[in-house]
Chain A
Amino acid sequence: MEFKDTVKHIAALAKLEFKDNEIDIFSEQFKEIVEYIDTLNEVELGDVESLSQITDFENVLRKDVTQSSVSLEEALKNAPKKNENFFKVPKVIEQE
């Protein structure tokens, strides 16, 4: 049952909505995946540091120089809704 709540929580974070029977299916699948990953907990790691990068690269830096941006038209090209200058999205009700 706890996976039902997890699925609902994750769905809410991802702004997704599911029907009850879909949540049941995903709960089962979630459970399987999490249990599978949990087997990693059985490995004795000692003081091995957690990994944040799989390469050993350091300091890939860029000089602080501007290059031309894409045009306004190009920037807005793929927007489902727009006007001449802006992307448009449904009114965000919450004020910030």
Chain B
Amino acid sequence: MIEFEPVIGLEVHAQLLTNSKAFCSCSAEYGALPNTQTCPVCLGHPGALPVLNENLLNFIIKMGIATNCKIREISTFARKNYFYPDLPKGYQITQYEDPICYDGFIEIELSETERKRIGIIRIHMEEDAGKSIHDLDIDTLVDLNRSGVPLIEIVSEPDIRSAQEAYKYLTSIKQILLYLGICTGNMEEGALRCDANISVRPIGNSKFGTKTEVKNLNSFRNVEKAIEYEIQRQIEVIRNGGNIHQETRLWDAASQTTRPMRSKEFAHDYRYFPEPDLVKVKVSNERLDSIRSSIPELPLARKQRLIDQYGIPHYDASIFVEDHNLADYYEHCCSYLAVKSQKTFKLVSNWLMTEVMRILSERKIDINELGLNPKFVAEIVDYLSEDKISSRIAKDIFPEVLQNNMSPAKIIEERSLVQISDSSALETLIDEVLANNQDSIEKYKSGRKNVFGFFVGQVMEKMKGKANPKLVTEILRKKLDD
């Protein structure tokens, strides 16, 4: 049987985090009451003139540089004409023949050691349309708050070869946008949207098959599922002797399938022409330099640095860079450590990934909302790394540290929780425990080695968790096995 490979390109729309809209001074904030953030420009009133928001220009250049694009010195705007009620002007202001960013790429990680380059054809500026609501009334309701909100459209080369690669590409784009601070990346709120161009071809063929465009991919998981479904659908059609029609299909999350969109007869006749109301955009070297110097370390580079600098595993570094605030926090904690070593760096990592992130997910908050002083994490790790407290004590005092914003060092010293590593004191206690549990000793000697844990538990109980568990184990083993 002929094997097929998919060829996928993604078009990603990202809403920019500007204060005002792309071409007027209305607020671009999400979630306001309907139709309260409009003016003659974004309502499409005749004669109203658009003026470009400087931050739309700055933000797209940022994204262009971060994705290794060339930045066009002079670019223009165009009108894309189509008729839809949420587009009051009857055209969308966008860029057509001369997008400001072009010919770039990002890298995605296929595994811990393998990276793949995904080309970026272009990134251009445009404006969002309003929002149509079809299910609240007999009529369609239109909210124009979103009309004119700035968007960038990022168009990839057809370099993606699986649904999983598409997912990785999209999450990488999202991470870069978040690192640059130019988009919330929230797919559910529509701040990030994705359409996929998908075709399949027999492996070994260099010619592309006929593609379909799949829309309505409104969550990261849906992107992966919809692409996987569409790939299999196309392969099946071809194997059954059919042909793929070039068409737009909608992902239906309820049925987990794609279906053809009712064909708009002239859907792709947009009659583009130059936007006469907006002048040329020129990117000066000064602007380019100042933006370039404002770009932070990007996720992949940061991941590699965390691995190199702190010696933490790839897995740990991946978790931290997913949220740049968390990565910042990790590095803050490490900077406060009294003893800086690979061991303590890993202990900080463990502590964040277990205790701290558990609370974050329980409370559904991010690290900055937790309000935990990174110094306190470093203190706990310092005590742990020098075996001054047991991990049980560390876990026990943590809620208090968090709730009362109290220094762990203070809690530990005040309540003398420093663990007992004095072997003679422990020996006396262990002898006592053994003497009181003769029957368990018999069980142990008769081969039921799991009784050992019981003894450890008894000792720790008596010491209120303050005994050094390693030492307890050592002494117990010596006494029981002799």
Q: Are B20 and A64 neighbours in the complex by a CB distance under 8 Å?
A: yes
- Interface assignment of A63: CB less than 8 Å from any CB of chain B: yes
* Residues of A1-44 contacting chain B, CB below 8 A: 9, 12-15
- Residues of B within 8 Å of A15, CB to CB, are 83
Q: Contact size class for B?
A: 35 or more
Chain B 268-291 interface mask (CB, 8 Å, partner A; 1/0): 010100101011111000000000
Cα of A61 to Cα of B52 in the assembled complex, Å: 5
Centre residue among A12, A55, A88 by max chain B CB count within 10 A: A88
Q: Are A64 and B53 neighbours in the complex by a CB distance under 8 Å?
A: yes
Which partner residue on chain B sits nearest A94 by CB separation?
Answer: B262
Centre residue among A9, A59, A60, A69 by max chain B CB count within 10 A: A69
Q: Are B83 and A13 neighbours in the complex by a CB distance under 8 Å?
A: yes
Q: Which of B19, B38, B143, B280 contacts A69 (CB 8 A)?
A: B38
Q: Are B83 and A60 neighbours in the complex by a CB distance under 8 Å?
A: no
Interchain nearest-CB distance for A76 vs B (Å): 6
Q: Are A72 and B33 neighbours in the complex by a CB distance under 8 Å?
A: yes
Which partner residue on chain A sits nearest B281 by CB separation?
Answer: A59
- Interface assignment of B456: CB less than 8 Å from any CB of chain A: no
* Residues of B126-146 contacting chain A, CB below 8 A: 132-134, 137-144
Q: Are A85 and B51 neighbours in the complex by a CB distance under 8 Å?
A: no
Q: Are A88 and B140 neighbours in the complex by a CB distance under 8 Å?
A: yes
Q: Are A90 and B139 neighbours in the complex by a CB distance under 8 Å?
A: yes
Q: With contacts A91-B134, A91-B138 known, is A61 near B54, CB below 8 A? A: yes
Q: Are B20 and A13 neighbours in the complex by a CB distance under 8 Å?
A: no
Q: Are B274 and A72 neighbours in the complex by a CB distance under 8 Å?
A: no
Interchain nearest-CB distance for B473 vs A (Å): 63
Q: Are A88 and B139 neighbours in the complex by a CB distance under 8 Å?
A: yes
Q: Which of A72, A81, A92 contacts B132 (CB 8 A)?
A: A92
Interchain nearest-CB distance for A78 vs B (Å): 8
Interchain nearest-CB distance for B13 vs A (Å): 14
Which partner residue on chain B sits nearest A74 by CB separation?
Answer: B38
Q: Are A92 and B134 neighbours in the complex by a CB distance under 8 Å?
A: yes
* Residues of B230-264 contacting chain A, CB below 8 A: 250, 261-262, 264
- Interface assignment of B421: CB less than 8 Å from any CB of chain A: no
- Interface assignment of B335: CB less than 8 Å from any CB of chain A: no
Q: Are B140 and A90 neighbours in the complex by a CB distance under 8 Å?
A: yes
Q: CB within 8 Å of A: which residues of B?
A: 18-20, 25-28, 33-40, 43, 51-55, 57, 74, 76, 81, 83-85, 132-134, 137-144, 215-216, 250, 261-262, 264-266, 269, 271, 274, 276, 278-282
A-B pairs with beta carbons under 8 Å apart, 19 shown = A15-B83, A53-B76, A53-B279, A59-B279, A60-B51, A62-B52, A65-B19, A70-B40, A72-B34, A72-B35, A75-B38, A75-B144, A85-B35, A86-B34, A86-B142, A88-B142, A89-B85, A89-B139, A92-B132
Q: CB within 8 Å of B: which residues of A?
A: 9, 12-15, 52-55, 57-67, 69-72, 75-76, 81, 83, 85-96
